[in-house]
Amino acid sequence: MVSSFKEVLNSGKFVITSEVAPPKGTNLEKTLHHIELLKDKVDAINVTDHQSSVMRFPSIGGCLAIKEMGGEPILQMTCRDRNRLALQAELLFASTRGINNVLCLTGDAVPVGDHKEAKGVFDLDSLQLLKTVRLMESGQDLGGNELDGAVEFCAGATVTPEAQPLEPQLIKFEKKIEAGAEFFQTQGIYDLDNFAKFMGHARQFPVKILAGIILLSSARMAKFMTANVPGIFVPQSMIDELAATPKEEMLNKGIEIAGRMIAALKKDSICDGVHIMAIGKEEVVPDILAAAGF
């Protein structure tokens, strides 16, 4: 079954994806509310996989909920918690349940999360997981055995356009494309000139690039991310713009900035779409879209 997300990706339309985080516990109320808010406003919704190595309800569970609610899920799969047997099993399961999009990630390191003594698995890496998806589509598994029923996925990956040094990141980006990535959702970007330069390089490859848009909810958050999150760089002018805003208006300013960036990316056809990460403030994603003119 061809994923409807794949059709959108190839339609030439400016693609919009966003993401929801599953709960820590069995109370799905908030996650389901976010899915309800987003499912008709975006082309697909990612479900994070124990993001920041924090144990939660599984990504596949969130994806099933999206399917049940009539949305289009993107299954985020990291290599941190499962070996190659478990990863392949989950791909089989996802495929049988109409979850046809997968984002292949290496995964954050264990010590950044809330189970600091756990074993980081990393039996495969993001590239090898992409290759595994393509192998399983051909009807084989990693052990060289024949599958009784193959999978079919629209497979994606991530790239960090602001990584320093950049060249190793670009080499891995190209390896991911060779391994079978059809689309990329980038790490959060803020400097559109830098991003346009990255796109100048990326355009030569037959892949769709969705720029990562992380909502800035305060000047403090912008400063913190620039100082602490690898590959995130918020220009000083943007931090100043937030800092000059009264505290109670800061979130609205963040929404305005995100909307402005999305509009600019679309207007100048810099990339193929955006992936909006509101990080705990998913309820304002429709406002970001409105601010962007959608």
Partner 1 sequence: MKAITRQKSFEEIKQQLDGFNRVFIIGCGTCTTMTKTGGIEQVLEMKSQLQKIDKLVSGWTVIPIACDEMSEVAMKENERAIQNSNCALIMSCALGVHRISTYIDRPVIPALDTMFIGVEDTPGYFREVCAQCGQCIIGETAGICPITACHKGLVNGPCGGTNNGKCEVDKEKDCAWTLIYERLKAQNRLDLMRKYQPPHNFQASPRPRTVKIS
Nearer to partner 1, 172 or 208 (CB): 172
Nearer to partner 1, 125 or 256 (CB): 125
Least distance in angstroms from the C-beta of 218 to partner 1:
22
Q: Contact positions toward partner 1, by CB under 8 A? A: 80, 84, 106-109, 111-112, 120, 122-128, 131, 142, 158, 160, 163-165, 167-169, 171-172, 174-175, 178-179, 187, 230-231
Least distance in angstroms from the C-beta of 184 to partner 1:
12
Least distance in angstroms from the C-beta of 144 to partner 1:
12
CB 42 within 8 A of CB 8: no
Nearer to partner 1, 113 or 259 (CB): 113
Least distance in angstroms from the C-beta of 132 to partner 1:
8
> Of 6, 85, 53, 21, nearest to 283 (Cα)?
21
Nearer to partner 1, 61 or 120 (CB): 120
CB 263 within 8 A of CB 275: no
- Alpha-carbon span 137 to 147, nearest angstrom: 9
Least distance in angstroms from the C-beta of 33 to partner 1:
29
Specify the residue for token string 């760089």: 233
Exposed, middle or buried, 1 (CB in 10 Å: 0-12/13-18/19+)? exposed
- Alpha-carbon span 262 to 65, nearest angstrom: 28
- Alpha-carbon span 137 to 114, nearest angstrom: 35
Least distance in angstroms from the C-beta of 164 to partner 1:
5
Nearer to partner 1, 140 or 245 (CB): 140
DSSP H or E run through 20: strand 15-20
CB 254 within 8 A of CB 215: yes
3-class SS at 77? strand
Nearer to partner 1, 17 or 128 (CB): 128
Least distance in angstroms from the C-beta of 161 to partner 1:
11
Nearer to partner 1, 71 or 188 (CB): 188
> Of 51, 94, 45, 96, nearest to 74 (Cα)?
45
CB 190 within 8 A of CB 238: yes
Least distance in angstroms from the C-beta of 71 to partner 1:
26
Nearer to partner 1, 204 or 269 (CB): 204
- Alpha-carbon span 273 to 214, nearest angstrom: 14
- Alpha-carbon span 206 to 200, nearest angstrom: 13
In this structure, what token pair is assigned to residue 45? 């919704």
- Alpha-carbon span 185 to 62, nearest angstrom: 19
